[in-house]
Amino acid sequence: MKKKEWIILLILVIIAFTLEITIMQIYSYKGGNKDIVLNPISYINAKYEDGKYITTEDNSEFEFEYDGFINEFAYIYESENDFSWEITVNEKENKKYVSASIINIADKRVRLDANKIKININGKGIIINDFKVHNRIDFNVLRFILISVTLLIIAYIIFNKNDIEKKLPKIFLITIITLGTLLILSTPLSAYTSEDDQVHFHNMYTLLDGKETQWSRTARYYDKLLINAPFRFVTSEEQKAYISFLNNNDNSDTNIIRENQDYGNIKYNNLVYLPEALIMKIGKTLNLPFIIVLLSAKFTNLLVYILFTYLAIKEVKKLKRLFFVVALIPHAINLACQFSYDPSLISVGMYGMAMFINMLYSEKVDKKTLYKFYISIIWICLPKAIYCPLLLLPSIINRKKYDKKEYRFVLIISVLLFVLLLSTFVLPTILSSNVAGDARVENTSVTGQLKNILQNPINYLIILIKYTITNLFPFFFGGETLNNMGYLLKTDTIVTFFMYSILLINLFHTIFTEKIDEKKYNYKTSIFIGCILVIIWGLVATALYLSWTSVGSQEIRGVQGRYFFPLSILAFSLLIPKVKEKNIYNYSNIFNYLISVVALSYNIFYILCLFNW
């Protein structure tokens, strides 16, 4: 690095440090930067013994006098069961919480000027001591690193704006590695973080164990917590206590063996779990702490996403900017940092689309590129055969780019693979006399719903058309698709709506400022791709109508925007202006890249502030 670059690096780090120690600690300064121990002036349905308070009834009340600002209110407790409690400040500001038996501290944000505090605890036999107002500065290392990294990436993009196209894969790699790592470390381990976490975690954890899995108390608790988490440990104090519980209960003395009825054998649709499952198996075999096993699986998931999206951006001949923007959509990154097979489908699907675009633009179709395309699409079809129409894409490429035998081979293989994979989706339903729907939804039956469709196909067609009109835009461009951070952030706030609007404008700007050669991507190609997308849309909706929707319902339920991520590049390509090759130029506006980086960084920053790490 040159001297100038070192100076800039130092300045940016100083800025990040200043922001963290001043603005981000404003509430601690407002409270005097000190912790204050409180003693109740009165209490009801509780007794005081040996310096501790013990609740004697299910509804106990403690009242305090305090004149000043409260950043956080905290107390130490012991309880055999989870319990609820609420804090009332100045007899009007009321907040309700649930605390867990497995930790011993309740520490919650208040951030109010107070003169009277009252807490009501709904639980009998709870031992409590050390009530305090927590106003002390807590320097957040992760937030400091996040601000520093974001500023450095922005500076790197600006300084390389003249040859941004060449540096784009490197910029993406730096961004996704640093911000993805920070997102994993910023996400509370206790939170139900993304869609179907409980299913994906269970599948990964048990996949390579054969007929039975050994569960420690820690692993059992985590598995159960993901399914129905009544609380989240939202402050750093609670997180430390929770991590202590996980570390102290992950040993052979707490292990029990449970039979794996559903996941004992590796089925082809579970192959996408193999990278994470293998890492988990190695970690368990080496008796590594549960937290290490947990985080290593998440990092493996992120690594899979990084590998294939990076290769897609690096190897694709055209539309690199669109690939970059789509690959950094916050919803996709959040999935890549949790337990899910969606990032594998998204990234490998993007790589497959990169290979398809390369075949469109090449003078002759390269066999390696064709095989990479087939392998990519087959991979994403393993858990979701609904994507199998994508296998027909090579057949639309100009036959002059193939040898005669090659073109016949492509037609035969494409149709054969399409039929084989589609049959795995259709045949089990048709041949079985009683296929159940998803157990999480009442009155579901795949067989019953299929009979309902066959008896009245016109009615289902009307349902599908209404569903398409209502949901086509939201599932490709909506906030739940672009800026969805799972269950970590609410999507109905002004701030999240603003960030979504910025992302949407950025995506549209990217799409409509890209250009495609009209000879390479003619109207026949557009029509064919449009038909492929319509078929997949219908298959997705029908799959969820069969398995997730109550029999006879006039609505389709359960479809989510993440199902269409593998199709996004293909769908957006239909909107890109088609021009003559001589009118195509490299659009060098760096704002598309800056907005993508800043939006993702802001969401991680928001999570760090929300959970107060």
pTM over 0.85: yes
Mean pLDDT check: name the lowest of 185-194, 524-533, 603-612.
185-194
Residue 37 confidence class, pLDDT cut points 50, 70, 90 = very high
Token representation of residue 325: 């923007």
Residue 422 confidence class, pLDDT cut points 50, 70, 90 = confident
d(CA 282, CA 452): 47
| Amino acid letter, 3 | K
Better pLDDT: 500 or 2? 500
Q: If you search the block for the tokens 């013990």, which residue do you land on?
A: 54
Residue 271 confidence class, pLDDT cut points 50, 70, 90 = confident
Integer angstrom CA distances of residue 240 from 35, 138, 274: 18, 13, 31
Judge contact between 108 and 574, C-beta under 8 A. no
Q: What is the distance, to the nearest Å, from the Cα of residue 15 to the centroid of all Cα atoms in its chain?
A: 30
* pLDDT score for 230: 47
Looking at the domain assignment, is residue 377 inside a domain? yes
Same domain flag for 276 and 321: no
Same domain flag for 356 and 433: yes
How would DSSP label each residue in 98-165?
A: EE-TT--EEEEEEEEEEEEEEEEEE-SS-EEEEEEEE------HHHHHHHHHHHHHHHHHHHTGGGHH
Q: Among the three residues 106, 134, 162, which one is the final residue of a domain in this structure?
A: 134
* pLDDT score for 70: 92
pLDDT mean over 419-433: 69
pLDDT mean over 429-456: 71
The alpha-helical segments, DSSP class H, found in 187-270 are 197-206, 217-227, 236-248
Q: What is the distance, to the nearest Å, from the Cα of residue 186 to the centroid of all Cα atoms in its chain?
A: 13
Same domain flag for 428 and 486: yes
* pLDDT score for 522: 85
pLDDT mean over 544-555: 84
- The tens digit of pLDDT for each residue in 198-223 reads 788 888 888 888 888 888 888 888 88
Q: Which of 117-121, 205-209, 366-370, 416-420 has maximum average pLDDT?
A: 117-121
229 pLDDT exceeds 70? no
Same domain flag for 504 and 379: yes
* pLDDT score for 473: 93
d(CA 199, CA 231): 19
Residue 352 confidence class, pLDDT cut points 50, 70, 90 = very high
478 pLDDT exceeds 80? yes
CB atoms within 10 A of CB 574: 16
- The tens digit of pLDDT for each residue in 74-110 reads 999 999 988 999 999 988 888 888 888 888 999 988 8
The alpha-helical segments, DSSP class H, found in 478-522 are 479-482, 494-513
Looking at the domain assignment, is residue 15 inside a domain? no
pLDDT mean over 317-343: 93
* pLDDT score for 382: 87
Same domain flag for 54 and 88: yes
Better pLDDT: 552 or 146? 146
Same domain flag for 449 and 485: yes
Looking at the domain assignment, is residue 433 inside a domain? yes
Bridge partner list, 256: 215
Looking at the domain assignment, is residue 179 inside a domain? no
Token representation of residue 6: 């070192």
Better pLDDT: 493 or 120? 120
* pLDDT score for 119: 93
- The tens digit of pLDDT for each residue in 276-307 reads 999 999 999 998 888 899 999 999 999 999 99
Judge contact between 200 and 495, C-beta under 8 A. no
Looking at the domain assignment, is residue 20 inside a domain? no
CB atoms within 10 A of CB 45: 15
Q: If you search the block for the tokens 């490299």, which residue do you land on?
A: 586
Same domain flag for 360 and 289: no
Q: What is the CATH number of the domain that holds 76?
A: 2.60.120.260
Looking at the domain assignment, is residue 307 inside a domain? no
Q: Among the three residues 134, 161, 182, which one is the final residue of a domain in this structure?
A: 134
CB atoms within 10 A of CB 16: 20
Same domain flag for 534 and 404: yes
19 pLDDT exceeds 80? yes
Q: If you search the block for the tokens 């996980």, which residue do you land on?
A: 246
Same domain flag for 361 and 414: yes
Mean pLDDT check: name the lowest of 489-493, 509-513, 530-534.
489-493
| Amino acid letter, 184 | I
Q: Among the three residues 112, 134, 156, which one is the final residue of a domain in this structure?
A: 134
552 three-state secondary structure: coil
Looking at the domain assignment, is residue 529 inside a domain? yes
Same domain flag for 264 and 342: no
263 pLDDT exceeds 50? no
d(CA 88, CA 71): 14
Q: What is the distance, to the nearest Å, from the Cα of residue 425 to the centroid of all Cα atoms in its chain?
A: 26
33 three-state secondary structure: coil
Judge contact between 346 and 335, C-beta under 8 A. yes
d(CA 384, CA 424): 10
Same domain flag for 379 and 432: yes
Looking at the domain assignment, is residue 90 inside a domain? yes
d(CA 488, CA 299): 18
Better pLDDT: 510 or 559? 510
* pLDDT score for 398: 81
Q: Which residues contact 309 (CB under 8 A, 6 or more apart)?
A: 172, 176, 323, 327, 346, 347, 350, 351
506 pLDDT exceeds 50? yes
71 pLDDT exceeds 70? yes
Q: Which residues contact 476 (CB under 8 A, 6 or more apart)?
A: 561, 564, 568, 571
d(CA 435, CA 149): 51
Token representation of residue 249: 């209960």
Q: How many structural domains is the chain composed of? A: 3
* pLDDT score for 456: 86
- The tens digit of pLDDT for each residue in 173-193 reads 999 999 999 999 988 887 677
* pLDDT score for 583: 65
Better pLDDT: 63 or 585? 63
Same domain flag for 426 and 572: yes
Domain housing 526? 316-579
